Every structure is written in C-alpha cells, then in structure tokens.
Structure 1
Amino acid sequence: MSKRADLLARIARTVAELAPDRIVRVAIDGVDGAGKTTFANELAGVMVDFGRPVIRASVDGFHNRRAIRYAKGRQSPIGFFEDSYNYALLKQYLLEPLSPGGNRRYCIASFDHVTDKPVDLVEREASSNSILLLDGIFLHRPELRPYWEASIFLRVDFPVSVARNAVRDGISPDPADGANRRYVEGQRIYLSKCAPEDYATIIIDNNDLAEPALVKKCW
C-alpha cells in the first residue's frame, strides 16, 4: 500500500468511527491548489469500505454572483476573501439540514459561477448516519467552524499550489505574478485572520501528492 493510500485509510477509519448514529460533517480545507477536491474524492472512495453513506459537496457550489464577487475590484484580495461565497445559502441548503435537529433534506449546490446563474435546486435526503465531506477554501472561518465534527487542513506552500493551478487553469506559476495577487494575497488574509491550522483536527502536509505527511491529529 502506498503512503497516500495508507494515510487515506487511516483517516477514513477515524472519521467513520465518529458518532456512528448521527450525521458527521467534515471540512477539507486548504489554499487553492492544495489538492482538496482530489483528497476528498479519494477519501470518499475509501470510506465506502466502512459502511457509512458519504455525501460529497464543495463550497464552489455556493459562489456569490459575479457582481458581488468583484464588487471591491477584480484584483482585490480582500474581495476574494470576503465576497467569494454565499455562506447564508451554504448554511441554509447544506449545513443546517445536516446539523443535529436538521431535517436531513439538503442540496449540494445553489449557484453556477461559470454561467453566473442560480442552479435548479436538487433536494436529497441524507441517511441518519451519513458523513458529509465538504471541500473548499476558507472553511475555518469563525462562522463555519461550529459545523464541523472534524476538519482537515491540507498544508501546501504557495509556490507548489500556484504551480498546480498553473497546470490546471493556464495561469502564471509565479505566486508574485500580478495575475495571482487576488488569490494568493486573499488566502494570506485568510491564513492570518482565521488561523485554520489552530482549529483543524487533522493537518496534512500535501506538498508531495505521492507522500502526504500527517502533521497533526487531535483525537
């Protein structure tokens, strides 16, 4: 078994053992390019072996309208940090229904940021012992932290994460390039203001995708 597969299996087992009789909400956080979506998808695949239903979602399904996202300017780091997502709808459609006392009827997306239009809401009903794996940036903001029974932060250096984004999105691989300022500096604001590593229950160094390293586990 590879080091990555072994780590995923260990985390999947730990998460699957949390609160077996109720819904567990898990955040997979990290800067853009940290590998959150891939990690969450792989973790979901491994968790099938532990007998609990998995709900996969991304905060990217809850973007704000373009006019709101860029209201402070298209290059604004603070605008990126403050205005990218509609947290009210994230809570209304996904997090609150899956919270203790919620009705378990949830939607995994409300908006398509590519078309800049709302999507048709598709309501599903969660099993009472489901595990939500939600990936995205900024998930350790103070208003979101109370929702997580567990949270994972993928630690990746900016030169590595921006280089990954360059391959994915065709942008400059240089974190200091002006085209990256909004995103890199916006995420620096998040790291400074919200200190996600202080609150994450698991920290993984994900600079090397083949050999991620467990840095912290608070169980």
Structure 2
Amino acid sequence: MQVNPISPDRLAQLLAERIAALPADDGRWIRVAVDGAPAARPGELADALVEPLRLRGRPVQRVSADDFLRPASVRLEYGRHDPDAYHDLWLDDGALLREVLDPLEPGGSGLILPTLRDAATDRATRAPYIPLPPGGVLVLDGALLLGRWLPFDLTVHLTLTPAALARRTPADRQWTLPAFARYAAETDPATAADLTVRSDDPRHPALVLP
C-alpha cells in the first residue's frame, strides 16, 4: 500500500478525471459518494468536485446525506447520544434510495429530491424535485454511507486514524466516536471504497493506493 500526499486541488482534479471517465452510454447518470466522518470534511471535497466536473462537460447535482435523516422521533428514540442509533438509525437510506438514487438508475426519471428534512427543525424541507440531465453526475457526501447496499458508481472514503478522528471531533460530538469505531470494524470502509484518501488533516490529504 502506498500513501501519496496530494494537494486538495489536485485531488479534486484527479477525482473529477476519474468520474468523467466513467461510461455514460445512452445518457446514463453517474452516482458518486464521498464518505467520511464530519471531521474529515467530506462535504468540502464533494463541493470541490462540482466545477471540475462541469468543466469536463458533466452536469452536477450536489446532495448531502445530512438532509436525509430520519425524523427525530426515530433518530432519538434511544436518547440524543446513542452511538448505535447514530450508526443504525439516523440516515434514512430508504428515502435516499427512493428520492435520489433510484431515479438515476438506467431508464429512471432523472428527477431527484435535493433535500428531504431539516434536521434542526425536524420538518420537511418541501424542496422541489430537480431534473439531472442525462449524463449528469450526482455527488453525495455524508458519514457511514458504505455497507448499506446503496447503489453508487464510485465511492470515495476519507479516512482518519482514531487519534486524529478524536482530536478533530468537537467535544459535543465525541459521543459519535464509538459509531465510527464500529463502522471501521464492521464495514471496513477503507477497503470497501473504490478510492481511499487519508484525511488526518483535510488541508493535506494523501491518496491511498494498493
């Protein structure tokens, strides 16, 4: 295994090249997941892919898994700081499939819902559906995305050492650390992902190569 340091800009360009090279025969859509703990800032990398992909002629729609959480009555059934509930129950993967990923299957409608629920208010966002043109790319960011049988065409996992994860996780989110330890043990996202990026310091990523 090789770990090659790379600048954030070069990383975004390299990933955009990899995504743009994926076959889009007959206008099929490409679904990309950028998976990582909040401390790894997966949303920042996902955002950084938008312009490079558009420059390569690919329409892009950004979606965040944080906008597809289950209602508070489900998420917080076992309390506000239960790591197993965070791991198992918080993400509404059924809604993510129904509203975002399945419409981008071959022969799908291409109409996706960009947001479902505002977790802060626990209310539906009532966002309108958005058409993603044929050949377009969905870029989804979030935590604990792998190992759920969600259909992605490319997955990128941002990994941190346990020490870096603990150091970069705010005090009020330290209760989530056992969930990420369980994720590492049960799902092994660094192996499950198509590409893994070491993100102990997101300003200085490193691409992990076999």
Question: Normalising by structure 1, what TM-score?
Answer: 0.86
Aligned mate of 1:55, from 49, 61, 71: 61
Aligned pair in 2 of structure 1 residues 51, 91: CA closer, same or farther (>3 Å)? same
Q: CA deviation at 1:53?
A: 0.5
Matched, 1:117 2:104: no
Matched, 1:17 2:21: yes
Matched, 1:44 2:50: yes
Distance 1:130 1:20 in 2: 9
- Of 200-209 and 129-138, the range deviating more from structure 2: 200-209
Distance 2:209 2:33 in 1: 15
Aligned length: 203
CA contact (8 A) 2:32 2:155 kept: yes
Aligned mate of 1:136, from 124, 133, 142: 142
* Residue in 1 that maps onto 2:3: none
* Residue in 2 that maps onto 1:155: 159
* Residue in 1 that maps onto 2:194: 201
Give 1:90-109 correspondences, 5 Å limit. 90-109=96-115
SS of 2:98 mapped into structure 1? helix
Give 1:49-88 correspondences, 5 Å limit. 49-88=55-94
Q: CA deviation at 1:150?
A: 0.5
Q: Structure 1: which 5+ runs fail to align?
A: 173-178
| AA matched with 2:123 | K
Question: Normalising by structure 2, what TM-score?
Answer: 0.89
Distance 1:121 1:209 in 2: 31
* Residue in 2 that maps onto 1:31: 37
> Percent same amino acid at aligned positions?
26
Please list the CA deviations of residues 8-50 of structure 1 after superposition, one character each: whole Å capped at 9, or x if unmatched: 2111111111013320001000122111000110121222221
Q: Structure 2: which 5+ runs fail to align?
A: 1-5
* Residue in 2 that maps onto 1:8: 12
Distance 1:69 1:44 in 2: 31
CA contact (8 A) 1:32 1:161 kept: no
Matched, 1:210 2:195: no
Determine which structure has greater relative contact order: mean sequence separation of CA pairs < 8 Å that are 6+ residues apart, divided by chain length.
2
Q: CA deviation at 1:104?
A: 0.7
| AA matched with 2:13 | A
